[in-house]
Amino acid sequence: MFSPQPVGYVRSPYKKTDEIPKGLGAKHEAEGVLEILPQFEAGLTDIEGFSHLIVLWVFDRAQGFELVGTPPCDNRPHGVFATRSPRRPNPIGLTVVELLRREGVLLHVRGIDMLDRTPILDVKPYLSSVSPELLRRGWLAEAEAARVK
Amino acid sequence: MFSPQPVGYVRSPYKKTDEIPKGLGAKHEAEGVLEILPQFEAGLTDIEGFSHLIVLWVFDRAQGFELVGTPPCDNRPHGVFATRSPRRPNPIGLTVVELLRREGVLLHVRGIDMLDRTPILDVKPYLSSVSPELLRRGWLAEAEAARVK
């Protein structure tokens, strides 16, 4: 395996977990900054050309993990690998953000759902999407349908 | 931070790096299996409802990292955070796969691009796509356009 090291930190408007929009239909329109550490700046070369980025980060304020849990948007329990729960065997979060602009080591982005000062593990270009017609969203689609009724 | 632990391993038709399709237009249609360790099986509850999964895994056969490098599909160097290079500060790979079926701890999937026996860090449901009209793909789109000429 390897020893995770932060390549930067998130600057987010959210200081506490309960400030982050959660559950069905939650919109993640918050703007924030991915602040990359100076020693990794060269790794950002040409990143400006991508409209969307995948950010991998650490749920650094989550404690332990839970294999089955009930998410905020449903009243039924689901397996951790079928949810985005923070309490995972490896506490890695994933967020797709829109890149608004770069200023040196600062990536200004939209779509932040992390807490302020969250350690960033990796940034990757978002290259392709699954076609919406092919996508099935399991219990989440059922929970949404149940709410609409 | 945290200590990464494998939650399972990939069973892949690719035994060596040079067998994996690379570069522009590479199709990842290979079928394989995500074999989850028995102690994490409960975490798979309800995963069958999702058509696509995001798999996070370790580039366990990559050595060190390179902040700027030339990918196989272009003749120009790019920053590591603008590529999917295996030689990353945190050697975490990401693959979107289609879930074909589950048999206990075995997830049969399509879209494998990992080597056989690759350690899996996490599996997450794929929940939404960026609309293709909104997606810009930077140097990769340029390299593709140059190849077509």
Give mean pLDDT in consecutive 10-residue pieces for chain A, a chain of 149 residues: 96 94 77 98 96 97 95 89 96 96 98 97 91 86 78
Q: Is A141 helix (H, G, I), strand (E, B) or coil?
A: helix
Is pLDDT of B147 > 80?
no
Q: Which residue of A has its CA nearest to B86?
A: A124
Q: Which residue of A has its CA nearest to B40?
A: A67
Confidence band of B8 (pLDDT split at 50, 70, 90): very high
Confidence band of B24 (pLDDT split at 50, 70, 90): low
Q: In A, which residues are within 8 Å of B84 by CB distance?
A: 124-125, 127
Query: CB B40 to CB A123 under 8 A?
Result: no
CB A89 within 8 A of CB A12: no
Burial class (CB in 10 A: 0-12, 13-18, 19+), B48: middle
State mean pLDDT over B142-149.
77
Higher-scoring residue by pLDDT: A85, B132: A85
pLDDT in tens, B36-92: 999 999 999 999 999 999 999 999 999 999 999 998 888 899 999 999 999 999 999
Proportion of chain B above pLDDT 70, given as a percent? 97
Please tell me the predicted confidence (pLDDT) of residue A25: 65
| Integer CA distances (angstroms), B82 to A81, A120, A129, B97, in order | 27, 15, 17, 21
Please tell me the predicted confidence (pLDDT) of residue A39: 98
Confidence band of B111 (pLDDT split at 50, 70, 90): very high
Please tell me the predicted confidence (pLDDT) of residue A32: 98
> How many helices (H) and strands (E) are present in chain A, helices listed first?
1, 8
Nearest Cα to Cα of residue B91 among B58, B114, B124, B121: B58
Q: In A, which residues are within 8 Å of B60 by CB distance?
A: 1
When CB atoms are compared, the residue of A47, A53, A81 closest to B123 is A81
For residue B21, the distance in angstroms to the closest alpha carbon of chain A comes to: 16
Facing residues of A34 across strands?
A10, A107
Tokens of A77: 């329990």
